Structure formats: C-alpha cells, structure tokens
C-alpha cells in the first residue's frame, strides 16, 4: 500500500494535496486512489474528515461523464435494499456471498466489489441516476 495522501479542502472549494504541494481536481484525486494510495480529505477550517463525501462526489462526477446507458433497475434495487444506501447494498451482497462478519467484509480484497454486480455498467450507473442538484448541494463542492 502506498502512503496516505492528505488533501485539504479550503472554503473556496479548492483541494490542496499536501504531498504534492499543489491544488488538485477531483479527477486527479480519483487517479491517486486508482494508483493505490489512500487519501484523507480534511476541511481546512473545521478539520472535519470529509473523505467519504469527497469519494461520493468523485463517483458522481465520473457517472455524470459516463456514456454508459443509465440503468434505473439497479438504482431501484439499491433504494429498496434494507439500508437504502449504495454502500450498504454492496456490503449486504458481499456478506451474502460468503463473508459472514463485518470484519470479514472490511478485510475483503477490492476485487470482490467488482464481482458484486453482474455488469460493469451496473457499477457505472449508480451515481449518474442520482439528482445532481441534491448531491451537489449536500456535498458543497
């Protein structure tokens, strides 16, 4: 595993990578994650950890740019799942595929997530089906 990259988000919504000593975009952060580095995004003023919401924003942006067909059935399954959340839905599917405990779930290799869905387009359509105004306003990016 590569080093933990600390990224600060300033009030002007700019993201600053401490390691590179430069501003970065959400797309650049997605490349950092794909390259195997862990990230931690902190609001510079409040010091709040906003890593999760930043990664949701990355997924949303990638989905919005995707040319994949939009699959409403996938989103209905997620919304109708017991948790009603994308991450909860994935976790429940992973556990039902043989992972029996919460600790097993978090220790699972990343490749298992890809096996959760029947097609790559199922993964690629989730964020694109969400209302961009709702997500953007709640994410404050």
Which pLDDT belongs to residue 72?
A: 78
Which pLDDT belongs to residue 100?
A: 52
Prediction pTM value: 0.62
Residue 26 near residue 57 (C-beta atoms within 8 A): yes
Q: Map out the domains of the chain as residue ranges.
A: 4-49, 72-139
Which pLDDT belongs to residue 8?
A: 97
The parts of the chain modelled with pLDDT lower than 70 are 1, 99-141
Say what angle helices 72-80 and 86-96 make with each other, to 10 degrees: 80
Residue 67 DSSP label? -
Residue 16 near residue 8 (C-beta atoms within 8 A): yes
CA 46/CA 126 separation, integer angstroms: 30
How is residue 24 written in tokens? 């970065």
């Amino acid at each position: 595993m590569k080093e933990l990259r600390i990224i600060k988000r300033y009030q002007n919504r700019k993201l600053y990578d401490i390691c590179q000593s430069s501003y970065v975009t959400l797309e650049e952060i997605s490349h950092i994650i794909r390259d195997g580095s862990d990230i931690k995004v902190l609001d510079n003023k409040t010091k709040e950890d906003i890593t999760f919401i930043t990664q949701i924003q990355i997924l949303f942006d990638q989905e919005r740019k995707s040319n994949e067909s939009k699959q409403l059935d996938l989103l209905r399954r997620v919304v109708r799942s017991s948790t009603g959340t994308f991450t909860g839905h994935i976790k429940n599917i992973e556990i039902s595929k043989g992972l029996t405990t919460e600790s097993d779930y978090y220790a699972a290799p990343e490749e298992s997530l890809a096996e959760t869905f029947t097609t790559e387009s199922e993964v690629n359509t989730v964020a694109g089906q969400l209302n961009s105004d709702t997500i953007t306003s709640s994410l404050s990016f």
